[in-house]
Amino acid sequence: MSVSAEVAPYCLTVDSVETIEAVLDCGDRERGQTLREVLRDAMSDRSTFIAPATGSVDPEAFRPGVDGGPVAIDDRTVSAGLDRLCKAGYLTVSHVWAETPTEAYVSAARFITLVRVLRPFSVVSVRYSWSHPAAIGFADRWEITNRSAVVPAGRYLIGEVGDMQPRLIGVSGFDGELADDDVTCWLAEVEGFGASRCSAGCEHCRSEWTAEAGSWEFRPDDCAAVAWRFDDADGFAHDGTISCPACHIGRVGFFIS
C-alpha cells in the first residue's frame, strides 16, 4: 500500500506513528493492553516492582533499604523495564526492527520489539513518604497504591517512536506460527509499514522516478527523464507536489510504500 507523503523543503516523510499503528493493528491490541499499562507504570514517576501473578503481596517486602526485595522496573524507558523483567526470568526480548529517518522515509526513528512472556506476572506501585518533613535517609512510610492486571504468557509486539528517548506507541498480542527469526521479514511486508520506497510522477509529461531506502536521489523509471535530487526541488505546493524537474510545466506528486 502506498501512502501520501508529507512534502516540504527538506522534508519527505510519512508519519512514523502511523506506520507503527499499522503493525500493531495486525495483532491483538486488547491482549496487549495489560503489558502496555505495565510499561507505562515503569516509565512513570512511581516506584514500580515485579509481583507474582497470583497470591497476596506483603507490604513489608517493600520496606526501603532491605536487600533482596522485589525487583524494581521503574527505569523510565521501555528497554530498561524489559531488561529488568528479562533478567528476572519473566520474558525474553528480541529487537526485530530499529530504523532511523536516514534509512527510510519516516518522520522519526522507529523500533519494534518482540517479547515472549514466559510466565505470567503483575506489577505493583508503591508510594514512599516520610513521617517528618525534615527526615533524611530511607522513607519510613510506604503503601501499595496499585496492582496491575496479570500479563499472560505469550508473544507481544511493542512499538516505539523517537530519536533520543523512544516513546511507547502501543503493544499487541502476537499469535500465529511465524518463527521469531522471521518476524523482521514479515514486518517489511505489512501494508502501511514499509516506508522504504518513494515513487514520484508528473501528471503532465508522465515521467516517473523512484528513490530507495531514504535516499533523495530520484532515478527515472524507464523514461527519458534525467535523475534529480529532492533537495534541489522547487515550486512546493500545499497539496504535496513540486514543479516537475523534467518538463517544468507539470506537477510531481509522491507516494511512499
**pLDDT digit string, tens, across residues 163-184:** 888 999 999 999 888 888 899 9
Q: Which cell numbers in the block locate residue 211?
A: 528513490
Q: Across all residues in the chain, what is the average pLDDT? A: 91
- Name residue 167's beta-bridge partners: 161
Cα separations (Å) of 80 from 7, 59, 165, 173, 228? 36, 25, 12, 20, 43
Output the CA angle 77-21-162, nearest 5 degrees. 35
Q: Please report the pLDDT score of residue 201 as a whole number.
A: 95
Question: Is the distance from CB of 19 to CB of 163 less than 8 angstroms?
Answer: no
Query: What confidence tier does 60 reach under pLDDT thresholds 50, 70, 90?
Result: confident
Across the range 189-217, mean pLDDT stands at: 94
pLDDT, position 4: 64
Report pLDDT digits (tens) over 238-249. 999 999 999 999
pTM: predicted TM-score of the whole model, two decimal places: 0.88
